[in-house]
Structure 1
């Protein structure tokens, strides 16, 4: 049994939403001043800016004030232990490369998780000021509008989102997979932020999204938002979704996409 009663999912969602908006507004203000210091992480193309760190600091501080007994795990190194059974997964800027190049497709992603998975989620897009939220068993929302994934049933008419690894070796295999899929779909988009792409599936702006080698903080919030909007999730073989293989789609094309990914 979850240590947090189900009705508290809405409370946690509201906390995530408020903090995500605060962090996103900080990030947008910072971007207007320039990127500031930029450091390298796993490869020369995988970077972190001072605004990633400032955003995570704000989020962790606010969670500490409001939820002092919860654990927090952040992309930029936060590992705060807790006793409540709730762990917050924080991506202070998902799509840092977009942020670096002053492209609009970056997001702040915050998820509250328990033993059963993600309980509450918020993804905020600072440039468009769109706030996507969800609470387990309560649906997903963009503002006052309840989200529903697209009704697409024809793979040839589907718009598919994806992403690529920072590893050149992994990109070779990903390129082969894209080459197999592209002739069979309407088109493919690479927007550059997993959290945003998953929200686009929830809102019917994408009919499906697949990617490999995501981190828990990339996936946790957007996964709940998409599935609460009716999307189906799995890995590339149809087994339960995992960070190494992520597929979210509207139900009508899920099996057709699996057939391509598994080939």
Structure 2
């Protein structure tokens, strides 16, 4: 077995256990612990507890690896492998009882920044549906034991496109203006509220494309590998030195170039 395959198996096992914990905590009620970047950007006590579980399991299995988590930040390792973790992607959905949230775990090699890392393995698990999306580099993307492939022909009605909006109110006008530019190539838009699941949906052919500005490394680490291993394309604009967060576009090949051009990815 390859290193990537071993990392994938570990990510799957831990994501499933973390998902069980997240669901159990949701069943007994959610306590809002704090806000993050904006008042609407919340963190629950469950986020912290789930991340602590993931971190402890990874530490026990691979003590030399680094860690980058949404809630607890970064810890360097000596192996060259870093785990990039979003303990509950879609926290607002989670807090409101909307069954669209996920545990996202990825193993990357190199500096733990999207511009320089190589993603080796990842898992995205929705505890509410039981779906486990997973991938290892050069070994395909999977939903359980079903191999995934992006859509191939969007047809004359246009592409079904997913998107999201940041929590910073100052970005909303620009987001809405971009929606207006995207709509001529869209059959319709979807806004699920969990980036990792949006990326998994592109990999599974449930969406033809997805774009969003403002994703953090843990939002996209596992999902981007799902997309590329399923035959799709993934692009992330380089930070430009401004306060604007980078833009991400993921899509089947038939849609990617046109959507990237409209979104201003280049």
The TM tier, using the shorter chain, reads over 0.9
Secondary structure at the counterpart of residue 14 of structure 1: helix
1:113 aligns with 2:111: no
- Matching of residues 232-243 of structure 1 within 5 Å: 232-235=233-236
Is residue 135–residue 226 contact of structure 2 (8 Å, CA) maintained in 1?
yes
Equivalent residue in structure 1 for 2:67, among 60, 72, 80: 72
Identify the residue that residue 263 of structure 2 maps to in structure 1: 261
CA RMSD of aligned residues (A): 1.7
Q: Over residues 87-113 of structure 1, what are the superposed CA-to-partner deviations in whole Å (9 max), with x where a residue is unaligned? A: 000100000000011001100000000
Q: Over residues 169-210 of structure 1, what are the superposed CA-to-partner deviations in whole Å (9 max), with x where a residue is unaligned? A: 111101100012124310000100000000000000000000
- Matching of residues 147-158 of structure 1 within 5 Å: 147-154=148-155, 156-158=157-159
Q: TM-score, with normalisation over the residues of structure 2? A: 0.91
Identify the residue that residue 24 of structure 2 maps to in structure 1: 29
Relative to structure 2, which stretch is displaced further, 154-163 or 137-146?
Answer: 154-163
In the alignment of these two chains, the number of paired residues is 253
Identify the residue that residue 113 of structure 2 maps to in structure 1: none
TM-aligned CA deviation for residue 259 of structure 1: 3.1
Q: TM-score, with normalisation over the residues of structure 1? A: 0.92
Q: Distance in 1 between matches of 2:224 and 2:71?
A: 21
Equivalent residue in structure 1 for 2:77, among 82, 98, 117: 82
- Matching of residues 165-204 of structure 1 within 5 Å: 165-204=166-205
Identify the residue that residue 223 of structure 1 maps to in structure 2: 224
Q: Distance in 2 between matches of 1:212 and 1:255?
A: 17
Relative to structure 1, is the Cα distance of residues 14 and 111 closer, same or farther in structure 2, using a 3 angstrom cutoff?
A: same
Unaligned runs of 5+ in 2: 111-116, 239-244
Identify the residue that residue 3 of structure 1 maps to in structure 2: none
Identify the residue that residue 99 of structure 1 maps to in structure 2: 94
